[in-house]
Chain A
Amino acid sequence: MTETLLKIEHLVKKFDDNLILDDINLEVKKGEVIVVIGPSGCGKSTLLRCINALEPIQGGTISLDGEPIDDKSRSLSVLREKIGMVFQSYELFPHLSVLNNVMLAPLKVQKRKKEEVKEEALTLLERVGLKEKAGSFPRQLSGGQKQRVAIVRALCMHPELLLFDEVTAALDPEMVREVLDVILKLAAQGRTMIIVTHEMQFAQAVADRILFLDGGSIIESAPPEEFFEHPKTDRAKQFLNTFTFEAVKTPHKTIKEEED
């Protein structure tokens, strides 16, 4: 029996009087990859931000390895070391080189030895094809390269749980692939991850379980085959329909037919 890594019980999140997350319950096992999908504004980002306590919560509990996470906890920094997060927009530190971006937290938070951290950082950068960019500054990188560095920066902390919030949403289409490939590799290594994405094919490929979030609640939670082939709720069906396009050209109207 695999153990539970993250446990969310009756999570309630409000912004002022707006209920954003309403009684969320979720258990994530070690090694599990969860993909969260849902319409814009349904609270996906907020859910991830609650998990690493960037947002205070108004009710319920979140615990990692059985330890409760809350924004006032004194061991918050220790907990956050165990949770790596990558955001939608590039959040590298512009005044630090790629290598120093990656090394900052291992050195300052975990107080690890510089030599050892540097070696690991370079190995990780090599794995995402960016070793030769170690000395570059963020402004010299493309969007896709920045996101790969951001992933490496999170990995170098040896997190037990990785959170990805639409990491490819701000990228040009030709760069999406290189970033998703990195995440697929992480899944293959057995990393525990919660991924928010709008890339449905990627979701299908990477997920052990899809969570469909709408109106602040988990509407469906199912393995990808089941969710994409046979969504149970109308809301999920509707949502999935927004990703498929009906053909607008009827056969007799195509240019080819007209030429015939």
Chain B
Amino acid sequence: MPDLGLEVLLKGQNMVRLLEGLWIALRISLTAVVISIPAGILLGAMMTRKNRVVRAVLRLYLEIIRIMPQMVLLFIVFFGTTRAFGWDLSGETASILVFSLWGTAEMSDLVRGALISIPVHQYESGEALGLRRVQVYRYIIIPQTFRRLVPLSINLITRMIKTTSLILMIGVVEVLKVAQQIIEANRMASPNAAFGVYLAVFLLYFIACWPISMFAKYLEKRWR
């Protein structure tokens, strides 16, 4: 049997360190998710308003965030702000900021899409029954929007978790960085550690994301 370098994982605190790295990745992405979802809902709802200026500004924001690679955003926020404004952001704060900007933009587009996909007849049927505007939203539009939104936003959440693998570039010691450190430290003793350690990283991401996407699938099936 080839040496897969698995024994490195059992050495000392290595597994615990990997788990701590995963926790940092999750803490950053989930904090950003908690900020992005309400902010995205707000902006998404504003994007369906008639006001042209508001719509144009939001559109611009969305496009800029989309076009820019997340890595570039991270560099601008982490290194750029230090130079330009003299801010001394920690890597973690910069990451949360970038992920929130990105998540908010993506979420707002999902919300906008879900809102405009509700046919105008749904509003009219509600109003024709005597429901007031607020009630139409509360009992008819929001529940339907929500159903369309949940699977999509869960998808976004898993994307955000996976993208935290970039933040090692601004010095945050998350799971991937820990893996590199472990491999580096054991270069002499176990030259094959790379396989085992990255396999562990793969499994950790999988364990973090898989239940979330299964949950999305389940909801999708239930609501159709």
Interface range on chain A (Cβ under 8 Å from partner): 20 to 34
- In the assembled complex, the CB of A117 is this many whole angstroms from the nearest CB of chain B, namely 13
Q: Is the interface of B mostly helix, strand, loop or mixed?
A: helix
Q: Is B129 an interface residue (CB 8 A)?
A: yes
Q: Does A145 contact B (CB under 8 A)?
A: no
A108-B139, A139-B224 known; A93-B125 Cβ under 8 A: yes
A109 to B223, CA, bound (A): 26
- Interface size range of chain B in the complex: 10 to 19
Q: Which of B129, B139, B223 contacts A80 (CB 8 A)?
A: B129
Residue pair A109, B128 in contact (C-beta under 8 Å)? no
Chain B positions 119 through 163: 1 when the CB is less than 8 Å from some CB of chain A, otherwise 0: 001101111111110010001100110010000000000000000
Q: Is the CB of A105 within 8 A of B129?
A: yes
- Chain A residue with minimal CB distance to B140? A93
| A91 engages B122 (CB within 8 Å) | yes
A54 lies within 8 A of B124 (CB)? yes
Indicate which residue in A78, A139, A157 contacts B129 across the interface (CB closer than 8 Å): A157
B139, B140, B143: most-surrounded residue (chain A CB, <10 A): B139
| Bound: A80/B127 CA distance, A | 8
A197 within 8 A of B: no
CB–CB A54/B144 < 8 A: no
Show 8 A/B contacts (Cβ-Cβ < 8 Å), sorted by A: A81-B129, A84-B128, A85-B128, A89-B121, A91-B122, A93-B140, A104-B139, A154-B129
* Given A52-B128, A80-B130, 17 new contacts (CB under 8 A): A77-B131, A77-B132, A83-B128, A87-B124, A91-B125, A94-B144, A104-B129, A104-B139, A105-B129, A105-B130, A108-B135, A108-B139, A109-B131, A109-B132, A109-B135, A157-B129, A157-B130
